[in-house]
Amino acid sequence: MPVQVNKTRNQDPLHGVTLKMVLTRLEEKYGWEELGHRINIKCFTNDPSITSSLKFLRKTPWARQKVETLYLRSKWQEQDV
């Protein structure tokens, strides 16, 4: 049975990636302005910061889902990963 648990865990593309890591990488890749265009939420468009965005995203599942989806759809070069 433990093998199945590991398989399930490894199928999660965000396994081992924290929300802070996701947000930091997206901000570095796109910048706050572009993030605000791609995902129109106040924490990206009005005085954005990692801290305020993390606070909002941790309390707002629909917004977090959008950020995680953008992260998964973004193309990362091998050395960026």
State both tokens at 35.
């993030």
- pLDDT at residue 14, rounded to an integer: 86
Strand, helix or coil for residue 75:
coil
- Residues 16, 6: contact at Cβ < 8 Å? no
Decide: 15 and 42 in contact? Cβ < 8 Å: no
For the chain, the structural domain boundaries read 16-80
pLDDT per 10-residue tile (average), the chain, 81 residues: 54 89 95 96 95 96 96 71 48
The pLDDT value recorded for residue 7 is 54
pLDDT, residue 12, reads: 82
Take residue 57 and report the two structure tokens written for it: 């995203």
CATH for 16-80 (3.40.1110.10, 1.10.720.30, 3.90.1150.10, 3.20.20.120): 1.10.720.30
Query: How far is C-alpha 64 from the geometric centre of its chain's CA atoms?
Result: 7
Q: Distance (Å, rounded) from C-alpha 3 to C-alpha 20? A: 29
Provide the greatest CA pair distance for the chain: 48
